[in-house]
Chain A
Amino acid sequence: MAEDGTSGAVHLLCLAASSGVPLFCRSSRGGAPSRHQLPFSVIGSLNGVHMFGQNLDVTLRSARTEDTAVVWKTFHDSVTLIVLSSEPGCSELRLERLLELVFGAMVLLVGLEELTRIRNVERLKKELRATYGLIDSLLGDAELAGDLTQCVDCIAPGDGPLLQEALAGFAEEVGSVFASLVVGGRVVVGTEGWWRLGSPEAVLLPWLVGTLPAQAARDYPVYLPHGSPTVPHRLLTLMLLPRLELCVLCGPQPPLSQLEPQVLERWWQPVLEPLRACLALAPRAIPAGFSLHPDILGLLFLHLEQKRAFFTVDLGGEEGPSPRTRRRLLRSFYVLVTATHFPPGQQGSRLPRECRVGSPKSLAHVSLFSSEAGSSEEKAEEQGCPTGVPRACYVVSGAAAKGPEGREDPGAGLRLVAIQAGPRRLLLLVSPQSPTHALRGLATRTLHALTPFL
């Protein structure tokens, strides 16, 4: 095992908790699936230490070396997931959420019953093969942030109401309350019912659609990890345009054959142009006409109650780091902000409150109120007083400086700023030429500008 052997790699192990039999192992390196696997002895001892602790009533949660993190998690006392990551900046928060999502993905495709009552390990192994595609995409470098933020990645279409109307009408005719338009794993519009979907499936369903090979139409059985983990539903997908798919979640009715071309045509032909526009919009997420400050290199805009998010790094600005680096920076920053300053418990219990658009102060007032009204126990314990509700934070990254060969570090001096107002949180990646003290103003303005979208 050379040192280079695992750097930048993620290994995911799934074992039956009672017997310790490995169900599957997936690895990825540098963002792409890899065949390299951990030796069996390592898998055995990773599971062994966890089991040893469990027998003594001590649950091993995570371990770290200087550059590697390992997280253990057992679900329903039957499946143990272990992830070992040596990606730079890997954090426990990210890995824990990853494991939850992976288990969600397993339930989504196999069903909870199969996983909790393992009768035939070999059969389960075979069934779990279906999840490999989805799980590999979760391990790898995605363009989306849903795996980390637990929010649905969205696109703000130019003609939102028009599409919304068409979707609602279509769903009614088909007889389902769950319908949405998905482009490359991002939701363009969804029915009210769709947005009410529970936590893992709301993220997983678009993600799944994004990872499946392109097909004109599908009828795919899925379990809903939150909503109905034991009774399967049908996920119908219809490709309206290349990469743009219409998803409908329904029971035994209607059969796929009922969705005749006429029905589709009637509803979607009139809005063909807006649909095309959506397609072009896909990586940018926000309308083309919407102008942002040129210094902004990337943004992650979350609505924590609606569980929706915009995540984009395609905002122009050819200079600066590559899109992939930008995405990674924003993700790391999200982890930092969530883990240290805006703990996730904070927003969960907060009552939804309308945020008025106005001066920053009034915004702050509203949000402060709401946080006080529903302040979680955790926070109350920690602070016991309203002093120090974090509102914003920023990071200046990169030590400035040229390397010994005079080479400029690509990440030098980049600024990242996060601002929280009510249920909304905005994270920006800003180019080095923007002065530090202007960051907050920039973020506040951008937040206000984006507020209509979410």
Chain B
Amino acid sequence: MFQIGRSSIIPKPAPRNLEDLDSVQSVLMHSDLEAEWSDSVQKYGELFYLELSDNEEESLLSEIPVVNHVRFSENEIIFDEDYLREGRKYEPRLKKFSKILKSRRLLPKRYKKKNSNGPVSILKHQPTQKMGIILQQRYKDVSVFVNPKNAMVLKAKEHLKLLEVLLGIIHQTKWKKRTEGTKLVVHGLLPGGPAMKSGQVLIGDILAAVNDVDVTSENIERVLSCIPGPMQVKLTFEIANARQKEASQPKQKKAQTTSNDLVRLLWGEEVQELQQNLQSIPHIIMYLSLQLDSETLKDEQEILYHYPMSEASQKLKSVRGIFLTLCDMLENVAGTHVTSSSLSLNEKLVHVAYWKEDDKLLLIGLPAEEVPLPQLRSLIEDVAQTLKFMYGSLNSAFCEAENVARLDHFFNLFFQRAIQPEKLYSSTCTQSYDASFSLFTDTLPGVQWLTLPQETQMEIDMVLNDLEAADFAELSEDYYNMRRLYTILGCSLFFKGYLICSHLPKDDLIDITMYCRHYCLLPLVSEQRIGHLVIWREVFPRHHLQPASEPDAQVFQEPEGRYFLLIVGLKHYLLCVLLEAGGCASKAVGHPGPDCIYVDQVKATLLQLEGVEASLDERLASPSNPSLSCADWFLPSSRDKLESLTSSPLLTKLQYTSRAITSPSSRRRLFSDYSLKTRKLSPSRSNGGFENGVEGGEGGGSSPYTTLDPLPKQGAKEAQSPGGPQASSTLLKVTKKKATLPNPFHLGRQKKDLSEKEMELFEATKLTSGTENTLFHYVALETVQGIFITPTHEEVAQLNGSIHSQLIKNFHRCCLSIRAIFQQSLMYEKKKALNVEGNSESPHAASSLSPVKEHGVLFECSPENWTDQKKAPPVMAYWVVGRLFLKPKPQELYVCFHDSVTEIAIELAFKLSFGLAT
């Protein structure tokens, strides 16, 4: 709209200091006047633009040298000039680069465009093949990522040569007499330069070609100056000493494949290895019409959409008659919708889940080995929900021809995620990203939340508030004297895949999280530094589009607006912003594309947050609160080690580092134990014990989804602590905060007492009583805010132990089955709530297990490789316990602890995790 190429002056809301402002502006200044992504905008204004950061590009390069970025929606039938532009942009940048070179007549004539994969290597023209291995190694291709923008700054300062600033290669021309076209011998490498980072460029190598353009000392500067923007460059070196090059390349390569595969999938490329694995596994998604027009009996006319086309899936497609008949008949017989059926296909059990809406039927079939039935049912619900979020309704998603390519991509990702998540996600945290973990967390109605130190949280909150206030010049209505385009409804911020701050209602948060999950954005940002990610699309959040039950003047009516989702990723940050058009903002017309000002503003917000990154990393690196134990410490074999560990300062440090003040801790811990005992003695011990906890939590957390803010509690705690100037400053902030946010602590004196007690519990870093910490792992799901808390991957990695990782795998597997039982309970409760008047069935219902509110399983394990034949392997027993709280709002807790925990401690563990979640 009113984007007049003035992105250089972005008035920043409430700049913290001048440096901040400078950095933001300088970065923006360096970016092109026209945003990089502006060419990738799709017909309906949709945008999915992903560019990796320098480091990641470099690693990716070894795999695919041609692609820099690709958009993935395939509907290219756009207006003519757009199409031309698209087409141009569609070419990988390397080609573009070559083109530029060609136009400047720098490109040697032998360069021919032979295949579409990219420029032909100059090496192919040389008869190296015949000469055996040694000669083949005479040349090597090294791909590096160069960013001329960064370089310009440096260059301006130090008057360096492009060779040095861009590639980090030092070539001393003085050493030799300047002759025509001397060889470019690498005399040195700049520390931190791309060449050094690649690890493959050695001193003494001779730079022969850049992107297959022969270079000498003569033309190198000119060639390099033609690099238009950040991109990958292939350097060809003549190897000085062929033998030196052994290195650890192959290993590195392997480690990188997985993460790269994800990116490539996202870019919409075919990833051979991944696809091949899926070929033989029967899986299918079908969208069938139940209303058949008998007049036009065509083959397969009832199939509105299906994916994939593989042979194993064809079989499932051919028996769709079964699904249609079952759906129709069983509904008549039983009076309830069909939810699933199981088939065996080539000796393999396949579950098919049904989702019926109107007169259409959505089916997803997956093998039982990969996805157990209860999870499949949550998966199909998620898919339906996400598609509705993206397209408004299932019908509009599936019935429009132009969506087919996008849906193919969507379901390709979906099946990859469902069937081989461990392959998709990075190898760096494989142990925690195993199949059960991803299945478990993916089907939880929430997002993993990272608790943060008070100040950091404050800072982030303020930055986001500033963004949401949207009173920067371009967005203010006074500035242009016209209505703003969008109202910012709220935003949520992710860091490395963890939610760190959300100013969105729960439903919106869940919707957005599910969208991010389906596009694997969270694992992506956690593993890779994103150079630039911009996603823009119209969305249909259920929370806002629900029809009002009754027109009531008192109740707030959602404006009849349209909603847009803007996701901007930078490095490890991901900021999701929900925008509303209509209502207070002007109405959206047609399919508006991403607005530069909003994108830039969000980007600026992220840049502003860069300063926080250090403290976030620190938080990730610090041991968790509550602290965890490693299972391996508890095996009798390593008993002595454990003893030394507990007494050593290391463990104590583990338990206490997260807190600055250690002295009150003992008192607090005492207090917590005490309060617990009193609770234990209370008459409601056995049955009402949990309820007690629930009520306590109610004080803390049931302020019906206002803002996601656990901080008042923490803040208040800090205010109490005897402290220096720091504490007093936080106190100030806290009071300010309290004024703006609805705070449960203001509700009343009584409640406050209770919450204080809770707070003490919350304080304790060690959940369990006794001398040893026996908590291994936990997951706390809170449905009011749609979050769950579990130790971060980093924390789990810190407790690295062979048994421990197995234990966690098992924990997640067990949680899956426990959760399946809880789901039944929730369903049962829902049903009970529905027919509360005519409960003629209640005696019947009592005879089934539902509702289950607690379920625990005891496991035993022993070391994997027990070599001592004579002695029995030591055994360690641990519990996995899940508990379901139905009131006030459904919450689920899963903990894993050593068998030796005392009874009281178990209760404590539940209460504390509870305290965490509120």
CB distance from A437 to the nearest CB of B (A): 3
Partner-binding segment picked from A117-125, A203-211, A277-285, A379-387: A379-387
Contact between A389 and B847 (Cβ–Cβ < 8 Å)?
Answer: no
Residue of B329, B334, B806, B903 with most partner-chain A CB within 10 A: B334
A413 touches B687 (CB 8 A): yes
Q: Does A399 count as interface, using CB distance less than 8 angstroms?
A: yes
Q: Is the CB of B315 within 8 A of A45?
A: no
CB-CB nearest in chain B for A413: B687
- Can you list 23 A-B pairs, Cβ within 8 angstroms, ordered by A? A3-B335, A45-B329, A49-B321, A52-B321, A57-B315, A62-B342, A63-B341, A63-B342, A321-B847, A324-B847, A341-B817, A364-B877, A391-B860, A395-B849, A395-B852, A396-B852, A396-B854, A398-B853, A403-B839, A409-B846, A411-B845, A435-B686, A440-B858
Name, among B330, B839, B850, the residue most crowded by chain A CB atoms within 10 Å (CB to CB). B330
Binary flags per residue of B282-310, CB closer than 8 Å to A gives 1, else 0: 00000000000000000000000000000
List, in ascending order, chain A residues with CB within 8 A of B688's CB: 400
Q: Is the interface of B mostly helix, strand, loop or mixed?
A: mixed
Interface pick from B196-204, B343-351, B708-716: B343-351
What is the minimal beta-carbon distance from A20 to any residue of chain B, in angstroms?
15
Partner of A68, one of B319, B333, B851: B333
Contact A395 B854 (CB under 8 A): yes
Do B319 and A52 touch across chains, with their CB atoms under 8 A apart?
Answer: yes
Residues on A with C-beta less than 8 A from B344 are 58-59, 61
Chain B: minimal CB distance from A444 (Å): 11
Distance between B370 CB and nearest chain A CB, rounded to angstroms? 12
Contact with A along B829-848 (1 / 0, CB 8 A): 10000001001011111111
Q: Is B685 an interface residue (CB 8 A)?
A: yes
**Nearest Cβ on chain A to B833's Cβ, whole angstroms:** 10
B686, A2: Cβ atoms closer than 8 Å: no
Given contacts A89-B848, A390-B859, contact A56 B315 (CB under 8 A): yes
B333-A435 in contact (CB<8A): no
- Residue B691 interfacial (CB < 8 Å): yes
Chain B interface size, as a band, is: 35 or more
Contact with A along B72-115 (1 / 0, CB 8 A): 00000000000000000000000000000000000000000000
Complex interface: stretch among A246-254, A257-265, A327-335:
A327-335
Q: A53 touches which one: B319, B330, B849 (CB < 8 A)?
A: B319
Q: Is A319's CB within 8 Å of the partner chain B? A: no
> B338 an interface residue at 8 Å Cβ cutoff?
yes
Whether A35 sits at the interface, judged by CB under 8 Å, is no
A2 neighbours in B (Cβ, 8 Å): 335
Judge if A365 is at the interface, Cβ distance under 8 Å. Answer: yes
| B516 in the interface (beta carbon within 8 A) | no
Interface positions of A from 334 to 352, Cβ below 8 Å from B: 336, 340-341
CB < 8 Å neighbour of B334 from A86, A399, A401? A86
Nearest-CB residue, chain A, relative to B806: A387
Known: A49-B322, A361-B875, A388-B861. 7 other contacts (CB 8 A): A2-B335, A58-B315, A63-B340, A387-B806, A392-B857, A395-B854, A399-B829
A64 at interface by CB-CB < 8 Å: yes
Are the CB atoms of A410 and B848 closer together than 8 Å?
Answer: no
Contact indicator A400/B691 (Cβ below 8 Å) = yes
B803: Cβ under 8 A from any A Cβ: yes
Interface residue? B331 (CB, 8 A): yes
A410-443: CB near B (< 8 Å → 1, else 0) gives: 1111001000000000000000111111101000
Say whether B618 faces chain A, with CB atoms less than 8 Å apart. Answer: no
A52 with B322: CB separation less than 8 A:
yes
Q: Contacts A52-B319, A68-B334, A393-B858; is A46 near B329 (CB within 8 Å)? A: yes
Chain A residues, Cβ within 8 Å of B854: 394-396, 436
Residues of A close to B335: CB separation below 8 A: 1-3, 5-6
Give min CB distance, B718 to chain A, whole Å: 34
Instruction: From known contacts A68-B330, A328-B848, infer whether A7 and B853 are also in contact, taking CB-CB under 8 Å.
Output: no
Q: Is A67 an interface residue when CB atoms closer than 8 A count as contact?
A: yes
Asked if A399 meets B851 with Cβ closer than 8 Å, knowing A432-B686, A433-B686, the reply is yes
A64 in contact with B860 given A387-B810, A437-B903 (CB within 8 Å): no
Q: For A67, list chain B residues within 8 Å (CB).
A: 334, 336
B849-878 interface bits toward A, Cβ cutoff 8 Å, 1 = contact, 0 = none: 111111111111110100000001101010
Q: How distant is B723 from chain A, measured CB to nearest CB, in Å?
A: 38
A65 pairs with B687, CB closer than 8 A: no
Number of interface residues of A (CB under 8 A): 83
Give the Cβ gap from A336 to chain B, nearest Cβ, in Å. Answer: 6
Residue among B688, B817, B842, B862 with max Cβ neighbours from chain A (10 Å)? B862
Partner pick for A365 among B334, B691, B850, B875, CB 8 A cutoff? B875
A18 within 8 Å of B by Cβ?
Answer: no
If A53-B319, A399-B853 touch, does A64 touch B846 (CB 8 Å cutoff)?
no
Give bound CA distance, A341 to B821, whole Å: 12
CB distance from B338 to the nearest CB of A (A): 5
A389 CA to B326 CA, complexed, in Å:
38
Point out the residues of chain B lying under 8 angstroms from A383, CB to CB: 810
B-contact 0/1 string along A76-103, CB 8 Å cutoff: 0000000010101100100000000000
Q: Do A89 and B872 touch (CB < 8 A)?
A: no
Q: Are B686 and A368 in contact (CB under 8 A)?
A: no
Also in contact, A53 and B334, with CB within 8 A (given A398-B851, A436-B854): no
In the complex, the answer to whether B330 meets A391 with C-beta atoms within 8 Å is no
For B810, the chain A residues whose CB sits under 8 A away are 383, 387-388
Bound together, the chains give a CA A68 to CA B332 distance in angstroms of 12
Q: Which residues of A contact B864 (CB under 8 A)?
A: 385-387
Rounded to whole angstroms, the CA-CA distance of A137 and B690 in the bound complex is 42
B272 within 8 A of A: no
Q: How far is the CB of B319 from chain A (nearest CB, A)?
A: 5
Q: Which residue of A lies closest to B329 (CB)?
A: A45
- Contacts A89-B847, A399-B851, A432-B686; A38 near B315 (Cβ below 8 A): no
The reply to whether B857 and A410 contact each other, CB–CB distance below 8 Å, is no
A42, CB-defined interface residue at 8 Å: yes
Is B807 close to A, CB under 8 A?
A: yes
Task: Verify if A224 is at the interface (C-beta below 8 Å from B).
Answer: no
A58, B859: Cα distance in complex, Å = 37
* A217 sits at the interface (CB 8 A): no
Cβ contacts under 8 Å, B806 to chain A: 385, 387-388
Within 8 A of A (CB), among B418-464: none
CB pair A88–B860 under 8 Å, yes or no, is no
- Among B687, B850, B859, the residue within 8 A (CB) of A388 is B859
Residues on the B chain within 8 Å of A48, using CB: 325
Q: Closest CB of chain B to A299's CB: distance in Å?
A: 16
The answer for the CA separation of A70 and B325 in the assembled complex, in Å, is 14
**A66 interface residue (CB < 8 Å to B):** yes
A84: chain B residues within 8 A (beta carbon): 333-334
Do residues A389 and B861 form an inter-chain contact, with CB atoms below 8 A? yes
CB distance from B348 to the nearest CB of A (A): 11
CA distance A8 to B827 in the complex (A): 18
B343 contacts A6, CB within 8 Å?
no
A325 within 8 A of B: yes
Determine how close the nearest CB of chain A comes to the CB of B315; give it in whole angstroms: 6
| B476 close to chain A: CB less than 8 A | no
Q: Which of A291-336 contact B (CB under 8 A)?
A: 321, 324-325, 328-329, 332-333, 336
Please tell me if the beta carbons of A63 and B330 are within 8 angstroms of each other in the complex. Answer: yes
Taking CB atoms, residues of chain B closer than 8 Å to A324 are: 847
Distance between A214 CB and nearest chain B CB, rounded to angstroms: 30
Contact of A389 among B321, B848, B852, B859 (CB under 8 A): B859
Interface string of B788-805 (1 = CB under 8 A from A): 000000000000000100
Say yes or no: A438 contacts B338, CB within 8 Å. no
Contact present for B855 and A394 (CB under 8 Å): yes
Kindly list chain B residues whose C-beta atoms are within 8 Å of the C-beta of A412. 687
Residue in A8, A65, A390, A398 whose beta carbon sits within 8 Å of that of B857 in the complex: A390
State A353–B856 Cα separation when bound (angstroms). Answer: 27
> Which residues in B have their C-beta under 8 angstroms from that of A60?
322, 341-343
B337 at the A interface (CB under 8 A) = yes
Q: Is the CB of A329 within 8 A of B686?
A: no
Contact status B861-A1, CB under 8 Å = no
